[in-house]
Amino acid sequence: MNLQAYLTRIDYHGSLQPTVETLCALHRAHLYTIPYENLDIHLGHKLTLDPDHIYHKIVEERRGGWCYEMNGLFSQALRQMGFDVTLLGSSVGSPAQGGVEGDLDHLILLVQVDKQPWLADVGFGKGLLDPIPLQVGEIQQNYLHYRLEQEGENWYFHNQPEGGPGFGFTLLPRTYAGFASRCHELQTSPDSGFVRTTVCHRFTADGLVSLRGAILKRVAARGVEEEEIQTLERYRSVINTVFGLDATLADQLWDGVEERHRKWKEQAT
């Protein structure tokens, strides 16, 4: 990958020394500028683990991605800067499953800095804002509260309340290719939440903004605000101005989004 192009994409102009300060600054810069999104699934495009394709999509086409793409790209950038990065797998919403085939729902990163392991994750959508030391305890980042627990070889990350479920994991190193089967399953199975609805998430200076289907939610220290998107014009505006994506994506997605939202409202009444 072209490291400088990636740094330009995330609007990062700081130090490239492999320090904790650099790691944290890069982590925030990535989350502030690149949205978590699964739109390709609903556009009929295959999500792959090909590094060149992911780089082209996120950096050159200025799109976002999901965990396999976001943390895959982030790990490449960190390694080019001299960071010691290990890929880990995790099981979303449940304790670690263990074994070579388990814990592949979500790709996370273990980064060693000055002999201290740090958990980094720019691919959970509404998860961590900053990397955290791999140690048991409570974590506060701005107004967001997290917790990390350990039982034997199993760890569990409790996400902040508005972020949804956490994930269980072990420190078993993974290969990037090892996530291929689960990556395929999550984008093709009718039982997958990624298949059932479109999502976009992004951190902002004062909190989080999330678009799930036709519901836009803003989360900040002052509380939560929701808006129901009712027109293509508004959907295009949100995709473009809130998440920094090409507004023409909305033209291809809106009919499906609107239909799923209508059915959801009918079932809820």
**Cα angle value 37/245/199 (rounded, 5°):** 25
Name the token pair of 159: 């996400």
pLDDT at 37 over 90: yes
Q: Helix 20-33 and helix 67-80: axis angle, to 10°?
A: 140
Q: Mean pLDDT of all residues in the chain?
A: 95
- What are all long-range contacts of 249-256, with beta carbons under 8 Å and residues at least 24 apart? 249/39, 249/43, 252/43, 253/39, 253/42, 253/43, 253/198, 256/42, 256/198
Residue 173 CB partners (closer than 8 Å, separation 6+): 86, 87, 88
What's the pLDDT at 266?
87
Q: Catalytic amino acids? A: 67, 106, 121
Residues of the chain with CATH 3.30.2140.20: 3-185
Are residues 102 and 96 in contact, defined by beta-carbon separation less than 8 angstroms?
A: yes
What integer pLDDT is reported at residue 268 of this predicted model? 81
Q: Provide the 3-class DSSP secondary structure of residue 164.
A: coil
SS3 121: coil
Q: Looking at residue 254, what is its pLDDT?
A: 97
| Nearest Cα to Cα of residue 96 among 84, 108, 86, 85 | 108
Give residue-wise pLDDT tens across range 74-122: 999 999 999 999 999 999 999 888 777 789 999 999 999 999 999 999 9
pLDDT score for 101: 74
Region 197-268: CATH code: 3.30.2140.10
Which residue ranges does the chain devote to CATH 3.30.2140.10?
197-268
d(CA 247, CA 252) in angstroms, rounded, equals: 10
Q: Give me the percent of the chain exceeding a pLDDT of 90.
A: 90
Greater pLDDT, 143 or 7: 7
Structurally, at CATH architecture level, domain 3-185 sits in 2-Layer Sandwich (3.30)
Which tokens in the block code for residue 35? 């949205």
- Name which of 153, 151, 158 is nearest 132 in CA terms: 158
In degrees and rounded to multiples of 5, residue 71 shows phi and psi of: -75, -25
Could you tell me the two tokens for 223?
């509380």
DSSP state of 60: I
Kindly report, residue by residue over 199-228, the tens digit of the pLDDT. 999 999 899 999 999 999 999 989 999 999
State the Cα–Cα distance between residues 49 and 72, nearest whole angstrom. 8
Global pTM reads: 0.95
pLDDT, tens only, 51-80: 999 999 999 999 999 999 999 999 999 999
